[in-house]
Amino acid sequence: MFSNHQYKVVILLASILSVSLFGQDLTGLKKRVAVVDFEDRAGYGHDIGRGLADMLVTSLVKTEKFIVVERQELDQVLAEQGLGASGAVTPQSAAQMGKLLGVELMVTGSVSEFGEKQSSIGGSIPGIGAKVSSRQARSVVDVRLVNTTTGEIVMAEKAEGSASSKSLDAVSFDQIDFGNPTTWDRTILGKAARESVEKCVKIIDKTMEKIPWQGKIIKANDDGSLFLKPGSQGGVQAGMEFVVYSKGEDLIDPDTGLALGSEESMIGKIKVVQDMAEGKACKAIAVSGSGFKTGDMVRIK
């Protein structure tokens, strides 16, 4: 058994090794994630599925830990694939969308509970005579996280939020902007929704730690230079070195139809030399190997 001191030393050494691959600090690399509109299984209406998905996107962006796919880009891929912007998509279709978007993780799910209840607690409001009621709000999101490489659901959890009040909200539903918490968070429904969304963020953050970072070759030139994504927006900096893999035939489970990955072969190493496209891409040169092409995968090892 390790003593407390020995245990701390082991943790420190593991941390040092994780950030010093190739002699470089890779802790700033950001993984990409996309959030599909949640299904409204609570029957609340008012586009609550899209609303909570938008809240989740905003919260993920604020963490500054991820590259979050913009709504416009997601909707475009959904339209091209003939899919509705709904959490009803299957793990397989979510994985396909994720690959087209270049993300490591797709977030899908449903709003299983959403609303508020009132209960009379007696007494009256001065000057009105009405009974004072205790109001309770509840928001429950069943979130599912799909690994886009395998098409498997790697995490499925329930994120619950609740709030209570004895006063009426001064904000009507028509005034609510899910992307802007200024008014929404003042309502008890907003507070309950916020709690469930923040729990979703923690679930995603924890799951992302287990999924390897990956970039992609955008273009390979005859002179040995090439372009890849992401750039500095994803934490990629000049001087960083990566390994490039060429993807072979997909391996499909004959029983489930799920992709189990694909045959891959390491074809070389590259070094980043310049940031491009306002940080969305970068330029690199070959350190070793050849035969790089568009769509090849870029990894840290």
**For the chain, what are the domain ranges?**
24-208, 215-299
Q: What is the pLDDT of residue 293?
A: 94
Those residues whose C-beta lies under 8 Å from the C-beta of residue 89, and which sit 6 or more positions away, are: 36, 83, 97, 108
Q: How far apart are the first and last CA of the chain?
A: 32
Whether domain 215-299 has CATH 2.40.10.410: the reply is yes
Phi-psi region of 10 (alpha: psi -120 to 50; beta: other; left: phi over 0): alpha
Cα–Cα separations (whole angstroms), residue 13 to 3, 29, 179, 212: 15, 20, 41, 20
Confidence of residue 88 (pLDDT cuts 50, 70, 90): low
pTM for the predicted model, two decimal places: 0.78
Cα–Cα separations (whole angstroms), residue 59 to 14, 56, 80, 144, 195: 30, 5, 27, 17, 11
pLDDT tops 50 at residue 38: yes
Confidence of residue 125 (pLDDT cuts 50, 70, 90): very low
- CATH topology (fold) of 24-208: Rossmann fold (3.40.50)
Cα–Cα separations (whole angstroms), residue 7 to 13, 39, 282: 10, 45, 40
Identify the weakest region by mean pLDDT among 41-55, 146-160, 172-186: 172-186
For the residues 217-234, what does the mean pLDDT come to? 93
Q: What is the pLDDT of residue 96?
A: 79
Those residues whose C-beta lies under 8 Å from the C-beta of residue 245, and which sit 6 or more positions away, are: 264, 265, 266, 267, 296, 297, 298, 299
Mean of the per-residue pLDDT values of the chain: 82
